[in-house]
C-alpha cells in the first residue's frame, strides 16, 4: 500500500512537472511570436531636440519584441541638451509611443545673429528658430536677461514689433513709436498699465519714455 502511494505521488509530480514545462514553453513561444513585434513607433513632444536622432531610436525599436523594449536600454540614445527625459508607453501587442519631455523655454532672443531660448534656470540653448523680436546688445546682456525674465510675459510687451535689450535700458518699437523703459519689472508693469490711457490723448506719438520716476514722457501731437 505504501509503495502504491509513493508511486502515485511520484507519477503526480511527473505530470505536474510536465505540465509546468509544457505550459512555460507554450507561453514563452507565444510571447516571443511575431504577434508581439513592434510594428509602429509614435514619436511625441520633439520641438527643439535633434529630430534625426530621435527618429533613429524609433527605427531601432521597430521589429523588436515589445516585452524586450525598456527605457534603460535606449536612454543613452536620447543624449540631447534639450531632453529632460523620455517615456516609453507600450500599447500591446505591437505599438509604442516615445514621449519626449523637453526643457521649456520662457522666450527666445537674438544675440549676434544667433537665436537662443532662455530657460527658467537662467541658462540658454540654441533654438531652431531663425528670428526673434527680442535682440540683446552690450556687455551686460546676461544680467539684463535675468531682470527681463521677471516681466517678459507682460501683455504690453507681446504687442511690440521689436524689443532691444541695451546695457542700461530697453528699447521697444511699436509701429512708428519708439518706447524706452528701465529694467525694474514692477515699475514697468505699472507704467504699461497707464500708458494705453495716456496714448488715447494723442493723435500722433513719436517717442515714449517710461524711465522717469512716477512720470511718463510722451513726445507727440495731442488731440
pLDDT, tens digit, for every residue of 61-93? 999 888 888 887 777 777 889 998 888 999 988
Residue with the three cell numbers 511699436: 174
CA distance 35 to 108: 46
CA distance 148 to 127: 19
Q: For the domain made up of 34-102, give the CATH fold.
A: Ubiquitin-like (UB roll) (3.10.20)
Which pLDDT score, from 0 to 100, does residue 13 have? Answer: 58
**Secondary structure, 3-state, 33-45:** CHHHECCEEEEEC
- Mean pLDDT value of segment 22-35: 64
Decide which of 3.30.70, 2.60.40, 3.40.50, 3.55.50 is the CATH code for 105-222: 3.40.50
CB-based contact 76:91 (threshold 8 Å): no
Q: What is the DSSP string of 140-158?
A: -HHHHHHHHTTTTT-HHHH
Three cell numbers at 4? 502504491
The three-point CA angle 114-143-187 to 5° equals: 110
Which pLDDT score, from 0 to 100, does residue 110 have? Answer: 97
In the chain, where are the structural domains located?
A: 34-102, 105-222
19 pLDDT more than 80:
no
Q: Which residue has the higher pLDDT, 54 or 206?
A: 206
pLDDT, tens digit, for every residue of 182-196? 999 888 888 888 888
CB-based contact 96:39 (threshold 8 Å): no
CB-based contact 135:165 (threshold 8 Å): yes
- Pairing assessment for the beta strands 83-91 and 95-102 based on DSSP bridges: antiparallel
Amino acid at each position: 500500500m505504501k509503495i502504491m502511494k509513493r508511486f502515485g505521488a511520484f507519477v503526480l509530480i511527473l505530470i505536474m512537472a510536465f505540465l509546468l514545462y509544457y505550459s512555460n514553453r507554450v507561453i514563452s513561444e507565444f510571447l516571443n511570436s511575431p504577434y508581439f513585434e513592434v510594428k509602429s513607433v509614435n514619436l511625441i513632444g520633439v520641438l527643439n531636440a535633434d529630430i534625426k536622432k530621435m527618429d533613429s531610436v524609433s527605427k531601432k525599436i521597430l521589429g523588436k519584441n515589445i516585452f524586450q523594449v525598456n527605457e534603460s536600454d535606449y536612454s543613452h540614445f536620447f543624449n540631447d541638451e534639450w531632453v529632460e527625459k523620455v517615456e516609453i508607453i507600450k500599447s500591446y501587442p505591437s505599438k509604442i509611443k516615445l514621449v519626449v519631455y523637453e526643457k521649456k523655454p520662457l522666450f527666445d532672443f537674438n544675440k549676434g545673429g544667433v537665436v537662443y531660448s532662455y530657460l527658467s534656470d537662467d541658462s540658454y540653448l540654441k533654438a531652431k528658430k531663425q528670428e526673434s523680436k527680442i535682440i540683446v546688445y552690450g556687455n551686460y546682456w546676461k544680467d539684463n536677461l535675468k531682470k527681463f525674465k521677471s516681466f517678459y510675459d507682460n501683455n504690453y510687451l507681446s504687442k511690440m514689433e521689436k524689443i532691444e535689450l541695451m546695457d542700461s535700458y530697453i528699447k521697444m518699437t511699436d509701429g512708428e513709436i519708439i518706447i524706452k523703459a528701465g529694467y525694474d519689472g514692477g515699475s514697468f508693469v505699472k507704467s504699461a498699465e497707464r500708458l494705453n490711457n495716456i496714448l488715447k490723448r494723442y493723435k500722433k506719438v513719436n517717442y515714449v519714455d517710461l524711465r522717469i520716476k512716477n512720470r511718463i514722457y510722451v513726445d507727440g501731437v495731442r488731440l
